[in-house]
Amino acid sequence: MPEAAAQVPALARLHLPLHPGAGFMVAEVSQYNGSQKEEINTREDTEKEESNNLGILWSERGEIETAQAYLESSEALYKQYMKEIGSPPLDPSEHFLPEEEKLTEQERSKRFEKVYTHNLYYLAQVYQHMEMFEKAAHYCHSTLKRQLEHNAYHPIEWAINAATLSQFYINKLCFMEARHCLSAANVIFGQTGKIPVTEDTPEAEGSVPELYHQRKGEIARCWIKYCLTLMQNAQLSMQDNIGELDLDKQSELRALRKKELDEEESIRKKAVQFGTGELCDAISAVEEKVSYLRPLDFGEARELFLLGQHYVFEAKEFFQIDGYVTDHTEVVQDHSALFKVLAFFETDMERRCKMHKRRIAMLEPLIVDLNPQYYLLVNRQIQFEIAHAYYDMMDLKVAIADKLRDPDVHIIKKINNLNKSALKYYQLFLDSLRDPNKVFPEHIGEDVLRPAMLAKFRVARLYGKVITADPKKELENLATSLEHYKFIVDYCEKHPEAAQEIEVELELSKEMVSLLPTKMERFRTKMALS
């Protein structure tokens, strides 16, 4: 199945419209400041012009450190010039114009500030290449902010760049800043078609319908990541050592909520404001509908879930499996993850089961659609995820059965069926690691080491959870369970680095390797006597 390339732009890959003379930071010999004429040294002006031009040139040629030196010099010269002079210099084109045709102060300032914006844009690129991500994000933010201030932007490009910047803030767990970027992206994207096309309009915007729907889908995906990461961060903050809700941690976070509101609202909001006046109000109106605080209960988590699900449907309108296989699959996986983390906040075990069932219903069709020869890694991810969903459902059904005095045949059958389905998908995942001769690798690659060990551990546990009245069958299940526990222990002895990946599971496996033989011997004795 063919796949079109549709990737969310990388951090700091801004698309600013170039214009004639964009490389000239300052190119004027004299400048009026009020009624007083300020004389500027010709050599100093030449340095300003040259540094920005050379910085851009070296950046385009991939000489990043050289570009950095010139661009930082140009930025410093701009700041020094504005501090000492304060008003814009003549535009280079004005040298050849009669006095009456020279630019107005307003137009001159507009061109001068636009050049400085390009300076910040290239600095963002440079810092990105140098993996100075904090600085890259700062200059991205400054560039976007200046574009709005000087009304020098194209809605689709500005919106996708703001949404992309939000992903940096999400990774840093700065959710207020991320929310602001995404809200601004929504508002500016809504201006598409309302701003007149100019000679600076990128050619790509010529086919607006196609580009519009693609960018809309990409912004939606950024919103999905926002909702999902915020919910997952809350889960990590409140779960105990077995992944369940810790009520004490939940209470502690509730006590910190007011402090978070007081501190973050006053400190962060000043630093991330986009736009002024009506534009600022429009962005704030979008922000107010979305929380930036970690959800503390099911109600708050559900609000984020519904927002994320809304954007899932929006993203899938463009990223359909017929043409965008990888993108569509990732959106579906994020949808599944939203259900998974929402289930963490749900206290009703039957409803939690239904959420995992929804996950399975959306993931299983992907296995049919994806060719394992071309999408091996994605197939593995989905197989593991489906297996884990069945595994969680089985655990929940066992917990429900434990509360009953006498579980009926239907519940037992349901538990065994879930167990069987989980085993099926874990085994599919493990079989995908085998070589062409169907031999399991002696050394498992780092990229799949932890999931492979987890799969082995859960398979061992699943065989031990099968409910059967046949002692012989139960003994066989225990033997298979022991075999998988021993694999984990033996592998970690041969490859000590693996032990760091599964410390908890390894300790439990060692315990089971010592306990199961005794249990199996008791079964054999009991069977012999009967």
How would you write 433-454 as a 3-class SS string?
CCCCCCCCCCCCCHHHHHHHHH
Q: Which pTM does this prediction carry? A: 0.81
* Amino acid 184: pLDDT: 95
pLDDT exceeds 60 at position 36:
no
pLDDT band at 66 (very low <50, low <70, confident <90, very high): low
What is the DSSP code string of 323-355? T-HHHHHHHHHHHHHHHHHHHHH---HHHHHHH
pLDDT exceeds 90 at position 252:
no
Instruction: List Cβ neighbours of 52 (8 Å cut-off, separation of 6 or more).
Output: 23, 24, 25, 70, 71, 74, 115, 118, 119
* Amino acid 68: pLDDT: 65
The token pair that represents 292 in the structure block: 């930036």
Name which of 379, 120, 153, 170 is nearest 279 in CA terms.
Answer: 153
pLDDT digits (tens, 9 = 90+) for 5-16: 333 334 444 443
pLDDT exceeds 90 at position 180:
yes
pLDDT digits (tens, 9 = 90+) for 191-246: 887 655 555 555 544 456 888 999 999 999 999 999 999 999 999 999 887 788 88
* Amino acid 56: pLDDT: 55
Distance of CA 492 to the CA centre of its chain: 32
- HSE-up of 166 (CA within 13 Å, CB side)? 32
pLDDT digits (tens, 9 = 90+) for 394-427: 999 998 988 887 778 899 999 999 999 999 999 9
pLDDT band at 26 (very low <50, low <70, confident <90, very high): very low
* Amino acid 91: pLDDT: 64
Distance of CA 60 to the CA centre of its chain: 28
The amino acid that residue 476 corresponds to is E
Instruction: List Cβ neighbours of 115 (8 Å cut-off, separation of 6 or more).
Output: 21, 22, 23, 24, 25, 52
Q: Which of 529 and 486 is assigned the larger pLDDT? A: 486
Residue 395 three-state SS: helix
The amino acid that residue 239 corresponds to is Q
pLDDT exceeds 70 at position 89:
no
Q: In angstroms, rounded to a whole number, what is the distance separating the alpha carbons of residues 241 and 249?
A: 12
* Amino acid 11: pLDDT: 41
The whole-chain average pLDDT of the chain stands at 81
Sign of the torsion angle spanned by Cα atoms 3, 165, 64, 116: positive
Tell me the mean pLDDT in the region 68-74.
Answer: 65
CB atoms within 10 A of CB 351: 13
Q: By percentage, how much of the chain surpasses pLDDT 90?
A: 49
The amino acid that residue 198 corresponds to is T
Tell me the mean pLDDT in the region 89-96.
Answer: 65
* Amino acid 21: pLDDT: 32
Whether the CB-CB separation of 345 and 297 falls below 8 Å is answered with: yes
